[in-house]
Homo-oligomer: A and B are copies of this chain.
Amino acid sequence: MPRSVVLLSGGMDSATCLAVARAAGNSCFALSFDYGQKHRAELDAAAHIARQMGATEHRVIRIDLAQLGGSALTDSAIAVPEAGGVGIPVTYVPARNTVFLSLGLAWAEVLAADSIYAGVNAVDYSGYPDCRPEYIAAFQLMANLATKRAVEGALLEIRTPLISLSKAAIVRLGNELKVDFSATVSCYSADFSGAACGHCDACELRRVGFAAAGIPDPTRYQF
Residues of A bordering B, CB below 8 Å:
59, 61-65, 67-70, 88, 92-99, 101-103, 105-107, 109-110, 128-130, 132, 134-135, 138-139, 141-143, 145-148, 150-151
- Closest-CB distance, A72 to chain B (whole angstroms): 13
With most chain B CB atoms within 10 A of its CB, the pick from A68, A95, A130 is A95
**Residue in B closest to A148 when the chains form the complex, CB atoms:** B88
A110 x B70 contact (CB < 8 A): yes
Residues on the B chain within 8 Å of A103, using CB: 63, 68, 95, 99
Alpha-carbon gap, A94 to B156, bound state (A): 13
**What are 11 A-B contacts with C-beta separation under 8 Å?**
A63-B103, A92-B148, A94-B107, A94-B147, A95-B102, A97-B146, A129-B145, A135-B146, A138-B146, A139-B142, A142-B142
Residues on the B chain within 8 Å of A96, using CB: 106
With most chain B CB atoms within 10 A of its CB, the pick from A130, A142, A147 is A142
**Residue in B closest to A95 when the chains form the complex, CB atoms:** B106
In addition to A98-B142, A141-B141, 7 A-B residue pairs with Cβ atoms within 8 Å of each other are: A63-B103, A68-B107, A94-B107, A94-B110, A95-B147, A99-B102, A102-B102
Residues on the B chain within 8 Å of A129, using CB: 145-148, 150-151
Residues on the B chain within 8 Å of A147, using CB: 94-95, 129-130
Residues on the B chain within 8 Å of A102, using CB: 95, 98-99, 101-102
A64 x B62 contact (CB < 8 A): yes
With most chain B CB atoms within 10 A of its CB, the pick from A59, A99, A101 is A99
Known: A94-B106, A138-B141, A145-B135. Contact between A61 and B70, CB under 8 A? no
